[in-house]
Chain A
Amino acid sequence: MVTTGSQQALDLVTRLFINPGDVVLAESPSYVGALGVFRAYQADVVHVAMDAEGLIPESLRETITTLEAAGKPIKFLYTIPNFHNPAGVTLSWGRRLEILDICRSHGILVLEDNPYGLLYFDQPAPQAMRSVDDEGVIYLGSFSKTLAPGFRVGWALAPHAIREKLILANESATLSPNSFGQFVITEYLDQTDWKGQIDTFRHLYAERRDAMLSALGEYLPKLSWTKPEGGFFVWVTLPDELDSKAMLPRAVKELVAYTPGTAFYSDGQGKQNMRLSFCYPTPESIRTGIARLATVINGEIDLLQTFSGANLTTPIPTRSSVTTPPPNTL
């Protein structure tokens, strides 16, 4: 089914399945735009741990067991298996199969969101989870990252019974998705070397990823970060005592911006993280940006050291008064 961007598919699936208080499982962290949808339908988002290979099956099992013991209805697992937003990591093939097994045995639907899959750098991502399970997976695709976000054209590949409901829900939501955009995209796919264009993007983004990783290594060697093999994002972990949300206005003052990690959690985590996006700036700008970020971070660490003897762990009630611009939800 064609939708108004895959964001609308997220909305429709959530509208169909979620009653207030139902559980949605999501990676820890997860996509800010999806969390916003889940929140709007009053879902209870429960994060499941990930590592460099993506969602951890053992953590998924434990989380499900705990939730089931508490009598909580789990409706679906929302996952971005390829070049995760914001974490940048990719779910390994072995884990894909294991996670599908776990979800199948607990009657949990999988919502597989794959906007970045074609944008790999060195080797293609593993096959989609939907490719081996056409009953338990709703797959979401999008032209936003491979062609242009402005068309607002995405699609959902859903099991038959769900697809029927999605079509009805879509009709009531928008009557029909943007048909002009679909004609243009059809023409584009028919008439141009779109795969060649995606190759161009892949090389462009790979060069930018390299610039970001090498600048991080050079300017902020003491921090840790993920090493994406595709997509747009690097997920950076700061020292414990720093707060990425409180730091953002200071970074903007130094003419560099990022998305604070707190945007990607529904439970207040993420203070020690930031999402850096390498898709838009040139390699030169990326280096400049990371150098500026290093100035901000090192300045804060220096200050914390000055006051380190003076019990710095006291919570300050007004810290929440620091505001941040809305995150870039692309």
Chain B
Amino acid sequence: MTTPLVPESLRTVTVLAGGISHERDVSLRSGRRVADSLTAHGISVELRDPDATLLGHLSETRPDVIWPALHGASGEDGALRGVLEALDIPFVGSRATAARLAWDKPTAKALVARAGIHTPRSVTLSHDAFRELGAVSVLQAIADEHPVPLVVKPARGGSAQGVTVVDDIAGLPRAMVDAYTYCEDVLVEQKIVGTEVAIGVIDTGDGPIALPAVEIVPRSGFYGFEARYNAGETRFFTPARLDDTVAAAAAAAAVAAHTALGLRHLSRVDLIIDAAGTAWFLEVNVLPGLTETSLVPLALEAAGYDLGWLYAELAQKAITDHRA
């Protein structure tokens, strides 16, 4: 085996993984996998948990690139990315402003809809609105306007935590409570019945391209936290079982959403394809899961990418973008 050629500018990478969130374990697995892939590619990798010593350490060591593999709030909401921008060290993935927009699901939906992509009808409600207007009347108004099935989810957050599919309107109040425990704003969205797909979008320098769509078929019927992170709980089809025209339209929608939100390097767009073949935008992840059971690595492998090569290319792109 020949040692892969590593560009002069890309010698040291710090992968950030862990953090304090319920997705910590997932992040550690993602980070370990990114680190191993980069190491196998001949790059010197340091894996760091973002703790109180991190910033001092980064200022001192100044790696060529930071590769954040942090899921959940601080990793994806732009907060940490803002700090990395201030440190003036190149990092992989979207900038803070774009990450912030994408992290807020109602904002992301509005921006994507403006770019002409379908997204399910929805209403976003703050906890305060319920307090001020009375839960019963607000819930009744929602029920009148939005027939079941509905999906109730925290406006910000990941891994389907606090998400409930409401098939019977009587379940709406409890679903609202569950979602509000994660976030003070809750999105109540029309559930589109169809094929659930996730499409990875990558950009190594020639513009964003869509990876093969991964079709998600959870055994329980609901792609919740357990179905996401326990091997065997969900079946995946890569590429998704869609006809070519529908698949191409879904891929175009994913790239358009990535572009409309101003994302860079890497993202994962979650869509539902209805019976007519229309792709509906649900949400986007600026740092998609990169574990052994995650969707983007599945798609990358299906498309024939070497993970180490791609992760190094993205790191290189981060350096190029930083210089620009």
Which residues of chain A have a CB within 8 Å of any CB of chain B? 246-247, 249-250, 252-253, 255, 299-300, 303-304, 306-312, 314-319, 321-323, 325
Q: List 28 A-B contacts (CB under 8 A).
A: A246-B178, A249-B22, A249-B161, A249-B225, A250-B181, A252-B22, A253-B22, A303-B127, A303-B177, A306-B127, A306-B131, A306-B135, A307-B177, A309-B135, A309-B136, A312-B174, A314-B170, A314-B173, A314-B174, A316-B171, A316-B175, A317-B171, A318-B163, A319-B164, A321-B227, A322-B161, A322-B224, A323-B225
Q: CB-CB < 8 A to A299: which residues of B?
A: 181
* Contacting pair B180 A321 (CB below 8 A): no
Among A299, A310, A315, A325, residue most surrounded by chain B Cβ atoms (within 10 Å): A310
The 8 Å CB contact of A255, one of B20, B165, B168, B170, is B20
Q: Chain B 208-230, CB within 8 Å of chain A: the 1/0 string? A: 00000000000010101111010
* Contacting pair B177 A304 (CB below 8 A): yes
Given contact pairs A303-B181, A323-B225, A310 touches B164 in the complex (Cβ within 8 A): no
The 8 Å CB contact of A318, one of B165, B180, B181, is B165
* Contacting pair B135 A307 (CB below 8 A): yes
* Contacting pair A316 B180 (CB below 8 A): no
Shortest distance from the beta carbon of B106 to any chain A beta carbon, whole Å: 20
* Contacting pair A314 B164 (CB below 8 A): no
Check B21 for interface membership: any CB of A closer than 8 A.
yes
Chain B interface SS verdict (over half)? helix
Which 3 pairs of residues, A with B, have the shortest CB-CB distance?
A321-B224, A310-B173, A314-B170
Given contact pairs A249-B22, A253-B21, A316-B164, A303 touches B180 in the complex (Cβ within 8 A): yes
Shortest distance from the beta carbon of A208 to any chain B beta carbon, whole Å: 23
Interface residue total, chain B, C-beta cutoff 8 A = 37
Check B176 for interface membership: any CB of A closer than 8 A.
yes
Which residues of chain B have a CB within 8 Å of any CB of chain A? 20-22, 25, 127, 130-131, 134-136, 139, 160-161, 163-165, 167-168, 170-178, 180-182, 220, 222, 224-227, 229
What's the Cα separation between A312 and B135 when bound, in Å?
Answer: 11
The 8 Å CB contact of B222, one of A246, A318, A323, is A318
Given contact pairs A249-B22, A310-B173, A316-B171, A323 touches B164 in the complex (Cβ within 8 A): no
What's the Cα separation between A257 and B163 when bound, in Å?
Answer: 21
Given contact pairs A318-B222, A321-B220, A311 touches B177 in the complex (Cβ within 8 A): no
Closest residue of chain A to B165 (Cβ to Cβ) is A318
Q: CB-CB < 8 A to A312: which residues of B?
A: 173-174, 177
